[in-house]
Amino acid sequence: MPLPLAARSLRRADVAERDWLDWRWQLRNMLTSADELGAVLELAPEERAGLAASAHLFRVGITPYYASLMDPAHPSCPVRMQAIPAAREGAIRDEELRDPLGEDSHNPAPCVVHKYPDRCLFLVVDRCAIYCRHCNRRRLVGGDDPPTTPEIEAGLAYIARTPRIRDVLISGGDPLLLSTAKLDHLLGRLRAIPHVEIIRIGTRIPVVCPMRVDDELCAALRKHHPLYVNTHFNHPKELTPESRAACARLVDAGIPVGNQAVLLRGVNSSVRTLRALMRELLKARVKPYYLFQGDTVIGTDHLRTPVDAAIELYGKLRGWMTGMGVPHLVIDAPGGGGKLPIVPSYIEELGDEVVKVRTYRGAIVDYPQPRERDCTVPYDDVYFAGVPEDDDREGSAEALEPADA
């Protein structure tokens, strides 16, 4: 009879290599309690208090692989801070929200969040390979109420009857926890919808369970181009040989990989960490895409970075490193307002004849305005003849209602 999980060591040196490299083994052996985590690292009092209260906060679940990246002696380890609850997580401010992005009010069909005119979220699973302490969807993931087949079918039907949707982001939970066959089938259904031009997958699997990105998965994904994967590295410590290999397998299958980091106070809120993260991502052929200001989700105040500090940090990226490595710094506006860029202002004075701009080194430079102001593109009438204009109505629930709903 196998030993109980808490009685077994989950350190890589004590596990058969065949098991360690099996993504299903990693998921079966996720660490979920103080006893299990205490067997692989020395828990701080605040971590023990957070774990004791976790049943009332948000589920705990960490793959042995991701736990192996934790510094066993330092509670300030950025991997630990993302995965192990702290006692401060229970200090909930009045302005923090269960649904910080207003997704539940932009939910025209089961499993679908439609906030933007031309794209939607398709939430197909409620499980993750890690339950991040900064998760903005903790109200939905880690429970015992996964999307049902009729709900997913209803979501597919909504996407199929809503021609303004050109881009579908498959998320959850983590879609790569679906079996390869189920994911392949779902992608095929979406690809068969004529107006769906782009499919994206949001996943943290390359970071926390990179062995899931195997040849079988990549072969299935590459059948459904144009397909993009956005993942979620927050610290260069997470860019291990295994995670780099997972990203390389995706890229080699023709799948562009982008990264959506969250700016987390005490985790990556330093110039050195952010520059190192972006440079290491580029070396792994992963394009830095977004750097998110932390969402106002309940229990995460201790991880959020002040906006003025975020803008200052961002200013130390632009110009100081290749533009390919500079992500968009954004706030995802509470209540469903969408992603809004927050960047330093480089315009000191905007005139009709001259614009005074500030360089990344602080020098003021004059940029002469052109004499002509008309920006009309005459060829538009030729190139877009017969093509209806984009729907520029506001992204309200009413504006996004399909015509036949």
Query: Which segments of 22-68 does DSSP mark as H helices, in order?
Result: 23-28, 34-38, 45-53, 64-67
Q: At residue 389, does pLDDT exceed 90?
A: no
The pLDDT value recorded for residue 404 is: 37
- In the 8-state DSSP scheme, what is residue 193? S
* Rounded CA separation 210/157 (Å): 32
The pLDDT value recorded for residue 391 is: 66
Tell me the pLDDT tens digit for each residue of 347-375: 999 999 999 999 989 999 998 999 988 99
The pLDDT value recorded for residue 405 is: 35
How confident is the model over 307-322, as a mean pLDDT?
Answer: 94
| Phi, then psi, of 44 in degrees rounded to 5 | -80, 155
CA proximity to 63, closest of 140, 127, 123: 127
Tell me the pLDDT tens digit for each residue of 212-225: 999 999 999 999 99
Strand partners, 167: 119, 198
Domain with CATH 3.20.20.70 in the chain: 103-341
Q: At residue 400, does pLDDT exceed 60?
A: no
The pLDDT value recorded for residue 258 is: 98
Q: At residue 68, does pLDDT exceed 50?
A: yes
The pLDDT value recorded for residue 100 is: 62
Tell me the pLDDT tens digit for each residue of 103-162: 666 778 999 999 888 999 999 998 899 988 887 766 667 666 788 999 999 999 999 999
Tell me the pLDDT tens digit for each residue of 272-304: 999 999 999 999 999 999 999 987 787 888 899
As assigned by CATH, the class of the 103-341 domain is: alpha beta
Share of the chain above pLDDT 70, in %: 89
The pLDDT value recorded for residue 11 is: 76
Q: At residue 231, does pLDDT exceed 50?
A: yes
| Phi, then psi, of 58 in degrees rounded to 5 | -170, 145
**pTM for this one?**
0.89
* Rounded CA separation 316/128 (Å): 33
Tell me the pLDDT tens digit for each residue of 70-79: 999 899 999 9
Does residue 206 contact residue 239 with C-beta atoms inside 8 Å? Answer: no
Q: At residue 5, does pLDDT exceed 60?
A: no
Q: At residue 260, does pLDDT exceed 70?
A: yes
Does residue 316 contact residue 343 with C-beta atoms inside 8 Å? Answer: no
Q: pLDDT grade, residue 335 (50/70/90)?
A: confident
Indicate the burial class of 404 (C-beta count within 10 angstroms; 0-12, 13-18, 19 or more): exposed
Q: At residue 397, does pLDDT exceed 90?
A: no
